Structure 1
Amino acid sequence: MFSLPPLLSPAHITGQPAPYAPACVVSTAAGALAALAAWYPGHWQALLLLLPAAWSRMRGRAAAFAVWMGYYLAGARDIPAVSMRFFSGYGELTRPEALVLGVALWIAQACVLATPWAMLKPKSNASAARHALCAAIATMLVTVPPLGIIGWLSPAYVASALFPGWKAPGLVLGITATACAASVSRARFARQFATLLLMLSVIARSVASVPVVPSRWTALDTRLGRFDQSSYASLYARTQQVRAIAQRAFSEGATVVVLPEEIVGLWRPAMGYWWRDDIQAFAAAKRTLIVGVDLTASGTPFRYTDSAVVVGADHGRLDSRQPVPAALWRPGAAVSAIRGSLTQPYVMVAGESVAFSICYEDLLWWPHWRILLQSPDVLVSLSNSWFDSDLALAHIQRQGIAAIARLSGVPLLRAVNR
């Protein structure tokens, strides 16, 4: 039998070892399995450490890219379905058009988030310290803006599993654990450091307690579906539904009631009139309602904030620091949500300091920087999931904000519309 001379072997032609394609397939599958194990349907975020460990063992940037590509594709697998439902639901695109857009966004987000891991992949013979440093830098790049604007599924979430209640130091130790996982098979000092981190994790988990939500605070899930705001008849019907839900909760003894994101839609003068008597009654009875609304910021081009508004016995608001890209946040478009300031203070409600997470923020770390430094008394999450409540994304979103609450040691109240 004839054989290829050395200079014409596949390794020389492609610049990769002969089993190049199979290695990439295996790497992609490994990343996908890690996503399923760490997130829905799995719930073991500590397994995120397997990703940097596998990444460091890959030979070549293509295989390193593949493992993270598989992870982000599997973890964000609902983007095509969400795009189809959302954009066709509002009549902006047909279902086929919205599906095509969703597939493009799904592939693009995986490529964007996997790229830092490929670019920073050291050569196989690089030192353990270099592998650790590159893993830490890549983790930061996919967690904070600009890439962090789509920074869902960040490996930094391992911090909440390992160091609950340790706030900012816990996040730093979690990123350190990611770096350690990338170098643990390469140097003795990395294994010793990993042992230390394991001991600290055992201590953190053993002393962690379950935060308690303040008495008579309640978050209400609703099943009102997509809000049709095309007529005053539909606006009034939704207002009546939401008013009845809030009044029923207060009549059952609640003093603070939380309703979902955008549950009353865009706040108009007519809605202020419809709600006026209720808000005055809430204030007189020392009751507080937290409700999700859209507030007009400018008329031309039309800009609005996706906000949580506090009315009744207390007053305040917080604007979403990152509305959903493409769906709500569309810089340059005729209609777009705008981002709220990252320095917005906590809102005082019934004597408690409250931090907010509005919908898409549940999936991100950076909007919540303050709660890792200055712990609030309560973390309130508002979401509107009429387009994804039956998908894995809804479970992953809940896991994400629960992880942030767990790391910060803060009780979580969450209201969702389905």
Structure 2
Amino acid sequence: MVIWGYGSRELGATQTLGLFGFIPLLPWVWRDGQRSLLWLAPLYLTYMGTLFTFRNREIEAVFMPHGVLPSLSALILLVLWRQRELSQQLQMQETLRQMQVLEEGSIEISAAPEPAELVETGVEAVAKLGVAPHIAFVRFREGKPVVISARGDLRRYQGRKLPRQQLSMRATLTDSFSLGSYLEGVPESAKWSSAAVPVSARQGRSLGVLILARDGARPFQSDEKALATSLARVMGAQLGQMEALQQLQAAYDGTLLALGVALEYRDHDTQGHTQRVANWAERLASKIGLDYRDREYLRWGAYLHDIGKLGVPDRILLKEEQLTAEEWRLMRMHVQIGYEMLCKVPFLPRETLEVVRYHHESWDGHGYLEGLRGEGIPLLARIFAVVDTFDALCFPRPYKKAWPAERILDELEHQRGRKLDPTLVDTFLELNPLSELSLEVSEGEAPPVK
């Protein structure tokens, strides 16, 4: 074998091993790239030094520069090439991971049922991007930045105002902010690199800001901020829509409550009844595990349950004596009148209308108007019947005085399985409702509740 640099001299086995000894090391170079140099280079030099020490004495001193150095240079060049390829693979893997985080985070943010969970989900998704260990979502309250959700060293400020912040008149007036030195009161921030990503609703209304921070002088690059901005846009769109819907529903709630309370100004003996039964109905619904939506529909039904009495003449509604059969027939029609009135309100759900129509049905089938029985009566109407009966016993009506606590409990037990769902009566009594009431106690006899 004739090797370049040796002229016509043939090399023996030792020299061949020296020149081509790096070949068995190539698999490790391919696997580890630059890291392999930490042990491959010393190993290879030791190997070549050993061969040179015990070389054939006929080999010239040019063996090392002409044989070893080219081989070692080839090995290093291969390492560097492979390292570049490995770095590109790792970068691609990280990019794919971040894209997956963006996709999953966007889906989870969109699926969040209420604002607090949405914010927590969004901040957690930003943390999973891996661009910053210290994260906070900040909103302005009365001109001061308040941390709504945080990760890393900023977590200790969650639910609190950021320290040493000057009152911003602009923030006070607009509930917005100017991106600036909001970390100036955080001691660790002196050694941080930070960035801010605005969170805005679709209409451009400012909702808050995401603060990103990490240790050292490592400014955030545009691609890193772009990742956080992608999630911030989803957060802003969903949060803005959710808050707008909450404001709309609050307007619905206030309007429906006002309609229910309006009837109380006609019947002074029932003032406060609407708000009380709505509160008790919601507590009983929570106790049995109904979700937010069903509790809202039940609350609306409680507000409106007697709205049909607007169609009942005063001479019947306010009569203190026993009603005649015809008067009682007209009084009972208030559930149908109310149902027909409210059917014209487009945003009221079926569940709310069922409370209005069926809250006087009885568990044993002797209620009105349709004579439904047992679980054939819609659940929300059964819940409301319990709390409506309880409130009627506790407070005076034109035909009765308020009852004492012991008699109220006896009457609820008597109506259990007759007028009222027995399971719901038991659950309601577990709330210990009498302990929270200041009763107008009367020991006198009173007729049964109508």
Both proteins in one fold, TM over 0.5: no
Q: Which has the higher contact order (CA 8 A, sep 6+)?
A: 1
Task: Give the TM-score taking structure 2 as reference length.
Answer: 0.19
- Which of the pair is proportionally richer in strand? 1
- Which of the pair is proportionally richer in helix? 2
